[in-house]
Structure 1
């Protein structure tokens, strides 16, 4: 079984029944990842796998700390022996260090999981933060607003996402710029 087939199967087994909306979101994030193939090159399969797995830490079957990036990454590493790059992307998706800080888990996350290279971190931020909870496309600004509204501005998630918003917007812009450059490079003169 290939990396993406395995990732879809695992994510579905952990999310589809207990958290169908989270599963729909994960499928939408993976679809976004597929749309980035032109800028990901040899990392396209890796990104799609990380995209569909990024929220498995919400699964009641594996949630331990209540911080889904850490729970998901630990499960992938310890129970699944997953590709280390996928594990690192799941651990650090969408500015997770800032949420870890809010939860008192930043040192733990940093010590256990080094960050992946910036272009891949940006790509996963873009995929996650331009996909609604139901799996449809949106803008990163609308997504951040939706998260603040859903969780409340004074909650851990609300505070973290507001702090992360400038980096989310910057990462989204970097990915959109790379996509535009790739399109222009592919157009005949």
Structure 2
């Protein structure tokens, strides 16, 4: 599968390296300089050539970025790995939540794309091939398109994840809140290699 990643930060680079290990073609879409070790090109070009696109940028710029490539995203599966994080004097928070989410805002911005929220509840070190005691962790996802979620589920399972579908894109509200639980535990313990696991009877 050809995967385009919008974002050249630590998340984008971690996903690119992991997907490449599994034999997928990967390019990073960036307006900045070339990304060392990973093929890169302008975002619109990367989206056009991709079977699946992942957005992995700062939450504040996510909506504007997808709007700028809306025509190329028409009909594409768009995996939203972003979080609406907002630092403040009191610590990290979210700039949207409870009655809306960044995932929903992205879907509204590009209604022709098939948005699936995923990867936002774990750190970049574990995004591909997570190896933790107790078995594979669970990646929670949300989205309105059943076929898009099936494709993302297949990719996640191939790369070491158990998967739990929380429903439509509005469930991004709770996934983005889960990110804050992940952050709170990391801040308290000083460790960032933890993940959630859903136990089922």
Normalised to the residue count of structure 1, the TM-score between the two structures is 0.35
Higher helix share: 1
Normalised to the residue count of structure 2, the TM-score between the two structures is 0.34
Higher strand share: 2
Work out which structure has the larger RCO, using CA pairs closer than 8 Å and 6 or more positions apart in sequence.
1
